[in-house]
Structure 1
Amino acid sequence: MTRDEILDLVINNMKLNVDDLEDTEIDPTKAMADYGASSLDIVEIVNTTLRKLKVKLPRTELAQLKNINDLVDLLVNTAS
């Protein structure tokens, strides 16, 4: 998958898991929490994305991420 496809996947998973995001434009330089995602929402978004990409990541790497772009970059590097 390309970086843009992975970004779209993450954003779609955010819109499925966080209320009131359906028509919101997502800025990938912001954190998921900035859009009202709880810690449980974020875990579900990340887990759903990992399952769809069929990749595994150590949770320690996920803890270092600051925003959506960081997650996408990590997924791109792991999935390729």
Structure 2
Amino acid sequence: MNRSAANVPGPDGDEERVLAVLRRTTLEIVPEVDPALFTPDRTLSDLGCNSIDRADIVTLTMEELGVVVPVHEFHQGLDIGTLAAVMRKRL
């Protein structure tokens, strides 16, 4: 697929977009999370998100991005950067 710089983000833009959506969704679902702690090397669990929070964050993020990722690609302990990469592959 050819990407046009005018209307479709490239790989770096995709990464930033996915991370931005994950961040926004996380802060919507768990508003007590300190935004400064939302970094690619942390897990959602590190931020205090329980299993229901994590499921909601992933589901809402996928919906906003318009992607479908099979559940087996997610496993406990994925850091935010890896989680974003899994979703980015589906864009």
Unaligned runs of 5+ in 2: 1-8
Unaligned runs of 5+ in 1: none
Counterpart of 1:24?
35
Give the % identical residues: 23
- The whole-number CA distance in structure 2 between the counterparts of 1:57 and 1:40 is 18
- The whole-number CA distance in structure 2 between the counterparts of 1:65 and 1:49 is 18
Q: Verify the 8 A CA contact 1:29 1:68 in the aligned structure 2.
A: yes
Q: Verify the 8 A CA contact 1:65 1:71 in the aligned structure 2.
A: no
> Aligned pairs, how many?
78
The answer to whether the aligner puts 1:41 opposite 2:48 as a matched pair is no
Measure how far apart 1:27 and its partner are: 1.4
Aligned AA (2:74)? L
Specify the structure having the higher radius of gyration (Cα): 2
- The whole-number CA distance in structure 2 between the counterparts of 1:10 and 1:31 is 12
Q: TM-score, normalised by structure 2?
A: 0.78
Counterpart of 2:3?
none
Name the one with the larger helix percent: 1
The answer to whether the aligner puts 1:10 opposite 2:22 as a matched pair is yes
- Runs of 4+ more than 2 Å apart: none
